[in-house]
Structures are given as structure tokens and as C-alpha cells.
Structure 1
């Protein structure tokens, strides 16, 4: 990834990737242009994957923190016993 790619937000990278795919599927481009589009698409896919992996890590961390705060008896956060093993 280039410095420019890392500055792209997820939505920007996704939208550009959609455009790259549209151009490739439409055809009518030279071999050289098709290869350049393919390479750009690969880079954009890496940016999207990076953002999604980061989001997954944040979600996992938030869920782990929530579960850690549930109490040692396995009780759910609302005290209804929903987290208690049977």
C-alpha cells in the first residue's frame, strides 16, 4: 500500500474499487490499461481489508470488555442470569 492508499477511508476505497471493477467488466480497455486497473483494484482491496480487520479487532475488543464486566458469577449485565451457565 502507498501512503496515499493508507489515507483513504473505507468508503472511498470501496467506491473506487467498485469503479475499477465496473471498468474491467465493461471491457474495451487495452491490455496495459486492464493490468493497471487490476493492480489498482488489488491495492484498493488491501485498503478495504485493512479497514475491515481493524473494525473487527475493535468489535472483538469491545465485546471482550463487555464480557469481562459481566461479573464473576456469569450473570449478564442486566442481572437476569442470562449469562449464567446451565
Structure 2
């Protein structure tokens, strides 16, 4: 499974929390409406990339959680994700 092939390296390198924080900042900036049109378009494009990155990170986390298995004795085990 390829990791976010169309995202810039600087976005891919961000943690979920950092990407979300930057995305929230962009949303606030756009909501204020005090940026020039070209800047707003660039910010929107960056926001779309950050949103996609966050969605990918959430999907990966969901897959990890879904792989947790409870055994009959109540113990918890983790199965490796099928990445192929």
C-alpha cells in the first residue's frame, strides 16, 4: 500500500496533530476573509492536502484498532495489518 503518493513531502512528514493544527489555522484565516484572493486559493489548496493527509492518518489508525483481537481468555492481542 503506497503512502499518500500525491501529497508533498512536507505534508506527509506532519503528524496528525500538527496537520490538524495547521488546517484549523487555515480555516480560521479563510473564515476571517482578510486575505487576498490568490492567498486564499493557495491556503485552500494547502488545506485540501492537509485534510487528505489527516483522513489517511485516521484510516491507518482505524485499521490498527480493527486488528486488535480479544482472545477467549480476555487477553488482548494484535494481528499484523495485511498491507498486501
State the 1:3 CA deviation.
1.2
1:84 maps to: none
Structure possessing the higher radius of gyration over alpha carbons: 1
Q: Which runs of 5+ in 1 are unaligned?
A: 71-75, 79-86
TM-score, normalised by the number of residues in structure 1: 0.74
Which residue is equivalent to 1:51? 57
TM-score when normalising by structure 2: 0.76
The list of structure 1 runs, each at least 4 consecutive aligned residues, that deviate by more than 4 angstroms after superposition, is: none
> 1:20 Cα shift?
0.2
Match of 2:74 in 1: 77
- Identify unmatched segments of 5+ residues in structure 2: 1-6, 76-84
Q: Comparing both chains, which one has the higher relative contact order based on Cα–Cα distances under 8 Å and sequence gaps of 6 or more?
A: 2
The superposition leaves residues 7-57 of structure 1 with CA deviations (integer Å, 9 ceiling, x where unpaired) of 100000000000000000001211111100100100010111111001100
Q: Secondary structure at the match of 2:67?
A: helix
Query: How many matched pairs?
Result: 69
Q: Which has the larger share of helix?
A: 1
Q: Secondary structure at the match of 2:34?
A: coil
